[in-house]
């Protein structure tokens, strides 16, 4: 059983590490050097999303083949409550993705621009954060008014509130939780490099870094409103 925990934790860390490396500016710069800026802008986001789905799918299949043991199982009606909270945070994720733009987040406009021969293809959104509303101001709407990384945080209650928890799932959840938090720290650096003062103003607007806040001061509202 201990070997299974180590294996699933190592595999999860490997997948998370691959995603982090490919999301880095260094990897994107290398892709531009190899394939050209236009091709990189057109294909990087959809290929990255496709790889993320494929690697997490492979991780799931690998986990199913390892020895496992049940830790606990929550039964109805409490399991219904857990599923309700999961569904709420699923909507929270969808709301956050909507504020970025579903098609833009998936890279669809970039692929279309490449396929139709457009000479200029803008880069995809930088990570899972807000986008620019103007050259000196971030678009702070929806969940991004509660915390700066809603798409990363929103995954945590979804994966932990499974009514049936196994040893392998707990190991996966633990590594994923650490990855989501550290990934948010890494994203902050990329956002500052990309958006400059506009994102720094967002950082200093008193909006929570990771855990959503249900209370906001009047001064905070004024600051993020510009």
Residue 149 phi/psi, 5-degree rounding, is -135, 60
- Which of helix, strand or coil describes residue 70? strand
pLDDT for the residue numbered 221: 44
Give yes or no for a contact between 22 and 186, defined as CB atoms under 8 angstroms apart.
no
Sequential DSSP letters for 26-67: HHHHHHHHHH-HHHHHHHHHHHHHHHHHHHHHHHHHHHHTS-
Per-residue pLDDT tens digits of the chain, which is 226 residues long:
678 888 888 998 898 888 888 888 888 889 889 988 888 888 888 888 899 889 988 988 888 888 889 989 999 999 999 999 999 999 999 999 888 888 888 888 888 888 888 888 887 776 778 887 887 888 888 899 999 999 999 999 999 999 999 988 998 898 889 989 988 998 898 888 888 889 999 998 889 999 988 775 434 444 444 4
CB within 8 A of 69, min separation 6: which ones? Answer: 1, 166, 167
Quickly tell me which residue has 């392998």 as its tokens.
168
The two most distant CA atoms of the chain are separated, in Å, by 57
Give yes or no for a contact between 113 and 38, defined as CB atoms under 8 angstroms apart.
no
The strand pair at 70-73 and 164-166 is best described as antiparallel
pLDDT for the residue numbered 9: 86
Expressed in angstroms, the distance from the first to the final Cα of the chain is 54
pLDDT for the residue numbered 226: 42
∠ CA(157), CA(162), CA(164), 5° rounding? 155
């Amino acid at each position: 059983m201990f070997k299974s925990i180590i294996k699933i934790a190592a595999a999860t860390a490997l997948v998370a590490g691959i995603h982090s490396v490919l999301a880095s500016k260094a990897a994107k710069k290398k892709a531009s050097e190899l394939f050209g800026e236009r091709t990189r802008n057109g294909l990087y986001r959809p290929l990255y999303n496709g790889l993320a789905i494929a690697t997490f799918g492979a991780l799931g299949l690998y986990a199913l083949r390892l020895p496992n043991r049940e830790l606990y199982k929550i039964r109805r009606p409490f399991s219904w409550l857990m599923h309700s909270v999961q569904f709420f945070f699923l909507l929270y994720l969808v709301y956050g993705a909507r504020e970025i733009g579903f098609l833009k987040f998936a890279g669809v406009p970039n692929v279309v621009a490449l396929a139709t021969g457009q000479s200029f293809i803008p880069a995809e959104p930088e990570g899972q954060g807000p986008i620019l509303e103007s050259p000196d101001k971030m678009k702070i709407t929806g969940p991004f008014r509660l915390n700066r990384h809603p798409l990363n945080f929103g995954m945590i209650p979804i994966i932990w509130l499974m009514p049936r928890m196994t040893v392998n799932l707990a190991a996966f959840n633990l590594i994923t939780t650490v990855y989501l938090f550290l990934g948010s720290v890494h994203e902050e650096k990329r956002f500052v490099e990309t958006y400059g003062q506009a994102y720094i103003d967002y950082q200093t607007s008193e909006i929570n870094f990771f855990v959503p806040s249900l209370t906001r001061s009047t001064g905070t509202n004024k600051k993020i409103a510009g």
